[in-house]
């Protein structure tokens, strides 16, 4: 009974996710959904990425949190358009759904955005089950979380195109096996692209922003191709 209802909710969300993705594509907005545990560094990664890309691309941000607008306030200091979704302070939802992302996106001027970052609720489980309507999914895993996480939370690592391994600046302090972590991630998803980064000191961001540039250009090419085919 509960399972049927959950399936119904999920497939309704899938339908809205397609509408949301089409909205983004029509406006030539490349939407990137960032997921990860609380405190993995999602907002810090968005901040550092904005600082590096700001001259080249017009960035926008949708912030998702159960409560508070702390993250949106952090982003707004960087003078990029940002909107905060709150899923509710009393037992609020543990993930973003495509309909909320669409509503939030419609409050932004999408014509003036090239790349839109969607920061999901901090949670390594549920957000992986709900398509937000983004074009790609990125998981942020921070070193202190430990090398076993891809094995324990497999759906998240299967759903994502990229893993950003964050807080590399702590590598010498923590007793952990980064190669083992990488091996665990590849075992769960052999096609996962990984970058080792530190939002604190900027390590690894040249490669990550280069990936974003290249992926954004493929996105624009795919739009041209599909507009030619539909003519």
Restricting to residues 65-104, name those near a second copy by CB under 8 A: 65-68, 70, 89-92, 94
Q: How far is the CB of 153 from a second copy (least distance, A)?
A: 6
Residue 189 vs residues 30, 103, 116, 153, 184: alpha-carbon distances, Å: 23, 32, 25, 12, 9
One residue of 23, 52, 146, 178 binding a second copy per CB under 8 A: 146
- In angstroms, rounded to a whole number, what is the distance separating the alpha carbons of residues 165 and 153? 15
Q: How far is CA 80 from CA 70, 92, 114, 167, in A?
A: 15, 27, 12, 24
Cβ proximity of 189 and 221 under 8 Å: no
Determine, following the binding rule CB under 8 A, whether residue 11 of this chain makes contact with a second copy: no
- Based on the shown chain and the rule CB under 8 A, indicate whether residue 190 belongs to the binding site for a second copy: no
Question: In this complex, which beta carbon is closest to a second copy, that of residue 39 or of residue 56?
Answer: 39
CB closer to a second copy, 201 vs 217: 201
Residue 196: partners with Cβ closer than 8 Å, 6 or more residues away: 165, 168, 178, 203, 204
Nearer to a second copy by Cβ, of 3 and 111: the residue is: 3
Residue 151 or residue 220: which is nearer to a second copy going by CB? 151
Min dist. Cβ of residue 70 to a second copy (A): 6
Q: Residue 178 interacts with a second copy (CB under 8 A)? A: no
Strand ranges across the sheet with 82-86: 82-86, 59-65, 115-119, 30-36, 136-142, 162-166, 193-196
Chain positions contacting a second copy, by CB under 8 A: 2, 5, 9, 37-39, 65-68, 70, 89-92, 94, 121-126, 128-129, 142, 144-146, 148-149, 151-155, 167, 170, 173, 175, 200
């Amino acid at each position: 009974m509960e399972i049927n209802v959950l399936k119904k909710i999920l497939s309704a969300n899938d339908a809205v996710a397609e509408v949301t993705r089409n909205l983004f594509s029509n406006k030539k907005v490349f939407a990137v959904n960032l997921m990860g545990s609380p405190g993995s560094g999602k907002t810090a990664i968005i901040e550092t990425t904005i600082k590096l890309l700001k001259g080249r691309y017009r960035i926008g941000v949708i912030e998702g949190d159960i409560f508070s607008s702390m993250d949106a306030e952090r982003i707004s200091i960087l003078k990029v358009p940002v909107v905060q979704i709150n899923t509710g302070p009393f037992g609020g939802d543990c993930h973003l759904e495509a309909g909320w992302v669409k509503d939030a996106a419609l409050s932004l001027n999408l014509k003036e955005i090239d790349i839109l970052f969607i920061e999901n609720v901090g949670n390594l489980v549920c957000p992986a089950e709900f398509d937000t309507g983004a074009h790609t999914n990125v998981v942020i895993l921070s070193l202190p979380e430990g090398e076993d996480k891809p094995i324990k939370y497999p759906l998240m690592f299967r759903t994502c195109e990229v893993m950003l391994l964050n807080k590399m600046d702590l590598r010498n302090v923590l007793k952990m096996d980064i190669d083992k972590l990488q091996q665990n991630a590849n075992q769960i998803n052999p096609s996962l692209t990984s970058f080792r980064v530190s939002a604190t000191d900027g390590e690894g961001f040249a490669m990550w922003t280069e990936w974003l540039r290249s992926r954004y250009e493929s996105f624009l090419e795919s739009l041209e191709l599909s507009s030619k085919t539909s003519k």
